[in-house]
Amino acid sequence: MTSLVLMKHTTTRLLFWSALILGVSGSCGGPARSQNQAGQTQPNVIFILVDDMGWGDVGVFWQNQRKDRNDRSEPWQITPALDELAADGAMLTNHYSAAPVCAPSRASLLLGVSQGHANVRDNQFDKELQDTHTLGSVLRGAGYHTAAIGKWGLQGGDSAARGPDWPAHPSNRGFDYYLGYVRHSDGHEHYPKEGIYRGSKEVWENTTNIAEDLDKSYTADLWTAAAKRYITQQAQSSDDTSPFFLYLAYDTPHAVLELPTQAYPEGGGLRGGLQWTGQPGHMINTASGTVDSYVYPEYSAATWDDDHDPATPEVHWPETYQRYASACRRIDDGVRDLVTLLKDLNIYENTLIVFTSDNGPSEEDYLPRDTYIRNTPDFFNSFGPFDGIKRDTLEGGVREPTIVSWPARIPGNRVIDEPSAMYDWMATFADAAGIPAPARTDGVSLLPLLTGEVASAEHPVYVEYFQGGATPRYPEFLETHAGRRRNQMQMIRMGDFAGVRYDIQSADDDFDIYNVVTDPQQSDNLAGNPAYLGMQDSMKRAVLQRRRPDPGAPRPYDSALMPAMEPQSLKTGLRWSAYAGAFPWVADVSGLTPSAEGASDLPDLSVMNHAGMVVYEGAIRVRQDGEYEFVVRGDGPFLLRLHESLLVDGSHGYQPGQQVSATAMLKAGFHPVRIYVLKKTGNEKDLEIQWRGPGAVLATLVAGDLYRQ
């Protein structure tokens, strides 16, 4: 039976916001760092996001197995630093990107919501990231200094916009410092100034274009050197003792597959490895030598059995794949350099590092066809044991190689097979910082899984995406998948099972259903098995109950009626829970102990006369099928969820008395509702909810409209 209250669960150690979070200091080997209310030192956080690296590209996930098999017709690459990072922490083997292409995937990551709620969907590159809570603003609200380095692509504005004219420049979305490529297309070139394949590009430090000074600066090296400079400044600062959050977004190995100028500098950390020199024309210490020239020796000398005949001589890898493997290895060297730096600064133990990719591996390379063969992910089987690549919602397009290290809290050599999603990181980082996540996040904290301290709740995984074309016809792919027409696609994970729909025509289309634990290649479609009819129905219902239509990304199921909950014995009114405290935003209070509880016929803010959160839970009764409009007005910020859909969001930038409205297509019956209200002062009294159905006039909700268990 469907539960009346579909609550998200987070770790019970979540603590409500307190001024103490900034007022208590502690030591982690460097300058004093802030502590949360539980007295735990807040970790520094580094989120490393790479571009188009597949689940199968990382040694410890897949490539090491190929090496161990020593099949000369199946070449392999190595990632020793990432393997070591995994040994120090945890591998998330069932971690999903939010979308199978970069812009929507990164938007969902930064906003902490699935593609059912993100304002950037499909191929909306350079679209303005929604002005609401982001990873940067949430951690800045927890007392962190925040920085973004590398690829952005979510700035908005017209094609002529520059610097401060971009409405969603990182500095306007929660980041104190930024250095990198703002525009999406700039990230297709890995030498900003020379522009071998795509012309010169712009690199912005905050709102200043510094590209003119970046001679011979290979971007993977540039971002690593900039990250090292930033981390060192933060760790050694005597004026700013706050922890830091660094979003380090590489633009490799995607796109032109350009090479570095030279071997990675010896050593690493404070005195070795990559260094930021700050000298125009030689801004980093690898800005010399020959542009696009260095292939790692183990790859330039590598040979393989290209004709699958051991009796014939092996041949050298095609240069395209020498380039791809070198790009991946350069990132690996950068990770080692960063870890060495953290150890040199004595902050490694209390730094939470996440490494993952934005989507599955790509066929794109932008190399001249008269010189190089096309890059295809099946040379290294970059998609691992799965079918699908970038732009597919099959496992190979959305399951990503994810490694998490936090030596102070996460035991080494952990392998976590439970499913999770990219939008879980906002809740996870908030949990680590000791603050509640915004209630609008679709994610759930991963800390219980990572630390092994308590069992974790279910982590919903949902993907929607549109792309023309078809899944490639690689020999490794099943015939049922190869050449499959894409168009409108969806993927939902429920426990061990993934539901996948391609070329969707309506909400009634059946999902293909696969047990991706026992059948990772998705060869056995269970949809025709009568035992899975209930799961089929559950998937169809769930994808309508956890999303909102977006006019910029129309779907064939946008006008489908949201299914009601299963019948239950209910009584009129809502249950409410009050949580005292100075919350920084409309907060997810899952796991917190309420200061008071009760029931009321309607949302009544007088149940708590001091600052805090009030949450109302129950169901709204819809008497006939159709389109319903909801209009909400209050004395302060609020958020209303219907099922898991973010129906009315007044949680960010809300002005008292402002009306916020939304429409929903609803099936007759009872629909679970959850209403979050932030009382900043305790004096807020008013929250008015009006609605109207087919042929009706706008009217205020009355007691007979709301029900509870």
Average pLDDT over residues 672-682: 97
Whether residues 433 and 575 share a domain: the answer is no
Give kind and range of the element (H or E) at residue 47: strand 44-51
- Using the predicted structure, report yes or no on whether residue 65 has a pLDDT greater than 90: yes
- Using the predicted structure, report yes or no on whether residue 34 has a pLDDT greater than 80: no
In a domain, 668, yes or no: yes
- Residue where one domain finishes, among candidates 437, 466, 501: 437
Coil, helix or strand at residue 522: coil
In a domain, 468, yes or no: no
| Token representation of residue 497 | 């099972």
- Using the predicted structure, report yes or no on whether residue 33 has a pLDDT greater than 50: no
What is the domain-level CATH number for residue 218?
Answer: 3.40.720.10
- Given pLDDT bands bounded at 50, 70 and 90, which one contains residue 316? very high
Q: pLDDT tens digit string along 610-657?
A: 999 999 999 999 999 999 999 999 999 999 999 999 999 999 999 999
Whether residues 242 and 387 share a domain: the answer is yes
> In this predicted model, which residue has the larger pLDDT, 187 or 1?
187
Q: pLDDT tens digit string along 522-556?
A: 999 999 999 999 999 999 999 999 999 999 999 99
In a domain, 33, yes or no: no
Whether residues 433 and 578 share a domain: the answer is no
Q: What is the pLDDT of residue 259?
A: 97
- Using the predicted structure, report yes or no on whether residue 334 has a pLDDT greater than 80: yes
- Using the predicted structure, report yes or no on whether residue 29 has a pLDDT greater than 50: no
Please tell me the total count of domains within the chain. 2
Q: What is the pLDDT of residue 24?
A: 31
What are the helix and strand counts (H, E) for the chain?
A: 12, 33
- Backbone φ, ψ for residue 399 (5° rounding): -90, 125
In a domain, 650, yes or no: yes
In a domain, 132, yes or no: yes
- Residue where one domain finishes, among candidates 437, 470, 486: 437
What is the domain-level CATH number for residue 686?
Answer: 2.60.120.1560
Distance CA 498, CA 530 (A): 17
Coil, helix or strand at residue 577: strand
Distance CA 6, CA 209 (A): 47
In a domain, 518, yes or no: no
Buried b (16+ CB within 10 A) or exposed e, 667-678: bebbbbbbbbbb
Nearest to 243 by CA among 25, 66, 427, 50: 25
Q: What is the pLDDT of residue 453?
A: 80
Domain span at residue 618?
A: 571-708
| Least confident piece of the model among 211-215, 306-310, 435-439, 449-453 | 449-453
Q: What is the pLDDT of residue 35?
A: 57
Beta strands 303-304 and 315-316 are antiparallel
In a domain, 336, yes or no: yes
- Residue where one domain finishes, among candidates 373, 404, 437: 437
pTM of the model: 0.95
Question: Which residues make Cβ contacts (< 8 Å) with residue 619, sequence separation at least 6?
Answer: 4, 565, 570, 670, 671, 672, 673, 706, 707, 708
| Token representation of residue 196 | 């071998």
Q: pLDDT tens digit string along 421-455?
A: 999 999 999 999 999 999 999 999 999 999 998 76
Q: What is the pLDDT of residue 159?
A: 76
In a domain, 284, yes or no: yes
Beta strands 399-405 and 351-357 are antiparallel
The chain-wide mean pLDDT, for the chain, equals 93
